[in-house]
Amino acid sequence: MKTYTIYQVDAFTTEKFKGNPAGVVTNADGLSEQTMQKIARELNNSETAFIFAPEDSSHDVKLRYFTPTTEVPSCGHATIAAHYARAVEKQLRSCQLIQKIGIGLLPVDIIKAKDYIIWMTQGKIEFSELFSATEEKQLLTALGLTKADMDPRCPAQIVSTGHSKVMIGIKSRAKLNALSPDMGMLRNFSAQIACNGYFVFTLDDTPEIVTHGRMFAPAIGIEEDPVTGNANGPLGAYLVKHKIVKHDHSMFVFTGIQGETILREGTVHVKVKIQNNEPTQVQIGGTAVIAFKTQITL
């Protein structure tokens, strides 16, 4: 028998019950995949992160992520939540550490100010081919959109920084807030395109290019994710790639807002490094707050 420490952490916010809730098990060594999946299902957050001791000297900590139905290789908000809980638990000072996750070894920066701010470097940026006209029509039908709703600057495209999402830029925030997708159609389309997440967003004409978005992933048991690091991060790369935003040719920085429609508003800070007008690296950053802490003996 072992006692495991479990946190519920609201990521990308400083207010409890806002942002994106993630489960975090800070001492997961000894848990089987089956038990981790059961814990994730019990907590019923979009993701639960399990923190393990390092396997070798190449990294400082190992993380695994489970939705209520399956393991995923990377998760933005659960990474922010996990390192926030670990930093609070261990009373860490500002530092950089290397985490091992499903997509490889990546740095995490922990900034200790009045509270902790966590910056996660995401994985390799990858862009898919643009959808065919038939695929685009299927996608829009599933989302309850038409071609006229789309922002003409923003072609629908799968983008990944470790866990791929479909980027769908539309013109109207009112339309964004009113979306009621056909989850069955999205689930079937995910099997067709090998991508489980759909990030619908609008662009604001503010100096820092604040975006508003909603993310749907029914194929992995998440009808709507409140605030998604693995959507806002790739979005930054996408905006640079398609020359939709202005930047200084070395860095593009913006803030994404998500979760407003489902009353879980949160804020994601995004930094995109640029070389030769191409995005080369993405970091996402945010704050968090512990909603509760408990223990379970198994």
Which residues belong to the active site?
47
**d(C-alpha 232, C-alpha 140), whole Å:** 20
Q: Which residues touch 65 (CB under 8 Å, ≥6 apart)?
A: 47, 48, 49, 50, 71, 72, 73, 74, 75, 78, 101, 102
Hey, how many other C-beta atoms are within 10 angstroms of the C-beta on 98? 15
247-262: buried (b, 16+ CB within 10 Å) or exposed (e) per residue? beeeebebbbbbbbee
Q: Which residues touch 61 (CB under 8 Å, ≥6 apart)?
A: 51, 52, 53, 54, 86, 97, 98, 99, 100
